[in-house]
Structure 1
């Protein structure tokens, strides 16, 4: 895997003022094997490389067509061999076997439309010396990151990691609205970040910069599902005009075949590597499916699982059973609370942004162990968003009776329910049933409500609302059923803001490349056409994905309840971590952001058992630790910072 820095400017002197060397040094973990620099009047490109395929000519920045084009590229293009042969047939010449050169040749022949031909994960920038134009793009799902910062003189600096952009000699300020939304989502929704000067290039977007025009970002791909009828209409249609059972079964069989074949082909592409390949293996169907399919192409596969020293917080036994059933080499990593307290500041540093998902902890430790054995790992991210795997996606079916209630009556019923004591059986059910999906669901994580933020956050703006983020996304979902709307929201928020961020950052912290076969455009094309019954049925999620993999995944996994990566922070913050957490709150220089008295009260109420506030406390702690690293320290290198605090 790789990391890069890119700079363009109308003013060559402005470029020379930027500390390219320091910006590259801080991301050596992304590419410890090789580095390179390309410079001319209006552009500077820096590159760090981790060699995945040992081939001659993979050095970057790479030139093409007599030096007209120069590229820095982070990622893997899995259909590069096929594209190379097609381009060669059209007259293209190649000096290497690298996928980097394939991107350059494709851009030479097809221009910015080249991004629609690429199957893989990527962020890249290509400098055209003749046109004096910079073109770049980020992959459709946002697997690989790309940050940018706009300066004076039409100067823009890009980086694979945000920490590089803190070396720019201009002040950086906290984004108050970003902090507000962070308290809801446990991450800052893209394209914004925790600091107002730094943004992200959104997934599925490309950009152009040249001397004469302003920097422009535009979408080249957006995830779209097949239009569906509402659940209520489906029930009516089923009763009034039932489809023949034979036709339903034929449709289902076509989908099962397509799911199985497309996912198998995706795994096969993702296995292309000349270095050792492994896979993360939990107790669920997603990782088990990837391992089962990968083993067909690589019988000596190594798999890895993380677990905690606390009963009820381990999928190790199930993963071990799965590994034996699939006959793969398996390693279990056990994590203690002492390990977490020691390493968590380092985890936050690598994350770049405050991301308070506790699942980053096991991912960090399992990646650390895996890096001792392999260079590439496969993982199951994306399956839940594509195939309807989260338990919350069952909610629209449980609330189906409310479809029969006139909309005019729902505010009255909701008002009555809100008068009931909190925690009383049925209260939440009636409130949710009388609330539209657009106001009810903002994604997989909802940590603080807007009213709760008023007690914790110091800055505020009465115009800021959580729905500011999701309402813009919901505008594109009027033709979807409620389950598909939820998937669409998670694809645009949770997946890119949480799941893929921690996947990339926690693996790259150990110079390990992570590949995600579910997040393939061919796989998405199949998943996006599934009818509702192929995703959710009763209490079962990912219905047709499970059925498609019946002969591949061990039986004990197929219908097991989804657990994810459970992390015992609820227990730790009451006991072993209480003093650690309290000290972080007390010593943090965030009085301008947080009401520390309210934060300490929340921690104490959790300790004595009044409430389970573990996720809220973890969200606060993560931001405070991030703030201490990036806003309170002058030296951002991992070595200097960690030496100060550990």
Structure 2
């Protein structure tokens, strides 16, 4: 995880995102642009791996990991590499391909900006799932600028936008190179093959993310997704992996299940407890780092930020693997109410398209704010492609168990015990302890009377806050980032057109099928 910032020279080199890369900051002036790179050294931790990389034609900065860099180096053997960094290989890839082709050659989680000396242009690209963040804006002179976070651009760009995932900028236009959310279902029907491929592709996705020259840790909630990531990693690691779980001081639901998984796998397990006071103290910091006003994102970011803060302050771990993106592929609690298979597929497409504004944003910001790198196996391009192409009828919850295909793919093996593999789990912001959400709601209730809420929420013509909690976040966000509400498209909520899903609060606790999830 690193931080990149590119702007016209006249705007200097001051940057607000150095925490993304505390190991070293490099500033390079190229023609009329200043390139700023904050490095968190992960692969080739020597100074040879410092960026920007430069040759006779290109100046390149990349925040991310290129997982197929060793294979690519075997293809582009004539290039005079100066490092063992995974990102340097992007230069010969750019040299040998059109930009749209180059982006598809790369297998990784990346956001890069480069200057092409030959054509005197700035180019950029972002990975198909948007795992690595990138924003852009235009100065009053009409010049484009880029940065890993919005806050590094708003001082000289009137309007900053998220750079769309799976797109590239060619010096003139922003165009798509890979739009995974457009994939239709219906190409994969054979259940036995589907289960085998889910297991094999996910395993490969985890394994490719174990390449690092620094220690790796794992976020473990005890739920299906994070437990599978840990189980696969442990099977491909000689020593016990290091796992971390967090829970509220009162009734921390997740902790007992995380310990059960950790004990089964034999991990080096750490538990972190946070308090109601921590929730209150950290709220504005969460909004500053996440750059969002979404209720779900802020709720879930609170324990995740605190857990990553503990990891950074108490260990030498610099990379963490997490379980995001599984829900968007296999379903949430509310997708049990999808009226048809077609509706389920459309909802999954919508969630994949918007993911970079919600769960992926949360994972990046909470982890990067604490100078760590996130890796997300479920976001792997091959894995997402395969699951999206499965016949959607098979992904509907007709099995009395959500995410059945993912669970069944690992059933009958010794990856996880059945009681974990087939346990129904609450969402992260509820499962760390119901008191987290209750505390945040109470803070908002104390802040506004009913009359004040009605008056202040009415001022928002787009995405009017539905609750006092939503209004509280929106006002805090606007104090920090005025006139930038557009950076997300709305509140994350279940599909309100479906049965039982017309809710103002995103918590699954309000769904009829919540059941034993929170026990």
Q: TM-score over 0.5 for the alignment?
A: yes
SS at match of 1:253: helix
Alignment equivalent of 1:571, drawn from 426, 434, 438? 438
- In structure 2, the residue matched to 1:406 is none
Q: 1:71 aligns with which of 52, 60, 76?
A: 60
CA contact (8 A) 2:112 2:124 kept: yes
1:496 corresponds to which residue?
356
In the superposition, relative to structure 1, how do residues 622 and 94 fare at CA in structure 2: closer, same or farther (>3 Å)? same
In structure 2, do the counterparts of structure 1 residues 321 and 599 end up closer, same or farther at CA, with 3 Å as the change threshold?
farther
Deviation at 1:555, TM superposition (A): 1.5
2:417 aligned residue: 554
What residue in structure 2 maps to residue 93 of structure 1? 80
Alpha-carbon distance between aligned partners in 2 of 1:597 and 1:617, rounded to the nearest angstrom: 6
- Contact (CA 8 Å) 1:534, 1:542: kept in 2 or not? no
1:274 partnered with 2:213: yes
Question: Which residue number corresponds to residue 461 of structure 2?
Answer: none
Residues 276 and 375, structure 1, Cα contact 8 Å, conserved in 2: yes
- Give the whole-Å Cα distance in 2 for the aligned partners of 1:486 and 1:288: 25
State how 1:17-32 maps to structure 2 within 5 Å: 17-20=10-13, 22=14, 24=15, 26-32=16-22
- Counterpart residue number, 1:212: none
Distance across 1 between alignment mates of 2:5 and 2:232? 36
Distance in 2 separating the partners of 1:286 and 1:350: 25
| Matching of residues 150-229 of structure 1 within 5 Å | 150-168=138-156, 172=158, 197-209=159-171, 215-223=172-180, 224-228=182-186
| 1:310 corresponding residue in structure 2 | 250
Q: CA deviation at 1:122?
A: 0.7
Residues 363 and 33 of structure 1: CA distance in aligned 2, closer, same or farther (over 3 Å):
same
Contact 1:533/1:543 (<8 A) preserved = no
Farther-moved stretch of structure 1 (105-114 vs 615-624): 615-624
CA distance in 2, matches of 1:572, 1:330: 28
- 1:278 deviation in Å? 0.8
1:323 matched residue in structure 2: 262
Q: 116, 119, 127: which is aligned to 1:128?
A: 116
Q: Does 1:284 align with 2:223?
A: yes
**Which residue pairs with 2:507 in the alignment?**
none
Instruction: Quote the Cα distance in structure 1 between the aligned partners of 2:80 and 2:437.
Output: 59
Matched, 1:82 2:22: no
Partner of 1:392: 334
1:121-520 alignment, distance < 5 Å: 121-168=109-156, 172=158, 197-209=159-171, 215-223=172-180, 224-228=182-186, 251-298=190-237, 299-311=239-251, 313-357=252-296, 358-371=299-312, 372-373=314-315, 374-386=317-329, 388-396=330-338, 399=339, 481-493=342-354, 495-520=355-380
Deviation readout 1:608-643 (Å, 9 max, x if unpaired): xxxxxx9822221112122223349xxxxxxxxxxx
**C-alpha separation between the residues in 2 aligned to 1:17 and 1:39?**
11
CA contact (8 A) 1:287 1:380 kept: yes
Aligned CA distance change for structure 1 residues 166 and 507 (closer, same or farther; 3 Å): same
Q: Name the residue aligned to 2:454.
A: 598
Inter-partner Cα distance in structure 2 for 1:144 and 1:78: 14
Q: 5+ residue gaps in structure 1?
A: 8-14, 173-196, 210-214, 230-246, 401-479, 587-593, 603-613, 633-646
Pairwise CA distance, 1:597: 4.6
Once residues 122 and 595 of structure 1 are traced to their aligned partners in structure 2, the CA distance between those partners, rounded to angstroms, is 46
SS in 2 for 1:36: strand
Following superposition, the deviation at residue 574 of structure 1 comes to: 6.6
Distance 1:300 1:540 in 2: 31
Q: Distance in 2 between matches of 1:336 and 1:510?
A: 19
Residue 523 of structure 1 aligns with which residue?
Answer: 383
1:59–1:597 Cα change, 3 Å: closer
Checking the alignment, whether the CA contact within 8 Å between 1:77 and 1:118 is kept in structure 2 is yes
Cα deviation, residue 601, structure 1? 11
1:582 matched to 2:446? The reply is yes
Partner Cα separation in structure 2 for residue 132 and residue 600 of structure 1: 48
Q: Note the C-alpha offset of 1:533.
A: 4.6
Deviations 1:136-162 (A, max 9, x none): 100000111111111233311111111
Match of 2:515 in 1: none
Deviation by residue 1:159-215 (Cα, 9 ceiling, x = unmatched): 1111111222x6x4xxxxxxxxxxxxxxxxxxxxxxxx1111100000021xxxxx3
Distance 1:554 1:568 in 2: 29
> TM-score with structure 1 length normalisation?
0.68
Distance in 2, Cα, partners of 1:162 & 1:574: 27
Task: Please state how far the C-alpha of 1:537 moved relative to its aligned partner.
Answer: 3.4
Deviation of the 1:541 alpha carbon: 1.9
Shift of 1:17: 2.6
SS of aligned partner of 2:371: coil
Tell me if the contact between 1:307 and 1:335 (Cα under 8 Å) persists in the aligned partners.
Answer: yes
Deviations 1:457-513 (A, max 9, x none): xxxxxxxxxxxxxxxxxxxxxxx71111110111112x2211011110011110011
Residues 343-352 or 69-78, more deviating: 343-352
> Aligned partners of 1:557, 1:55: CA distance in 2, in Å?
41
| TM-score, length-scaled by structure 2 | 0.84
Aligned partner of residue 282 in structure 1, secondary structure = coil
* Per-residue CA distance 1:509-563 (angstroms, 9 max, x = gap): 1001110011111112221222235322323222221111121122221111131
For residue 86 of structure 1, report the CA deviation from its aligned partner: 1.5
SS in 2 for 1:135: strand
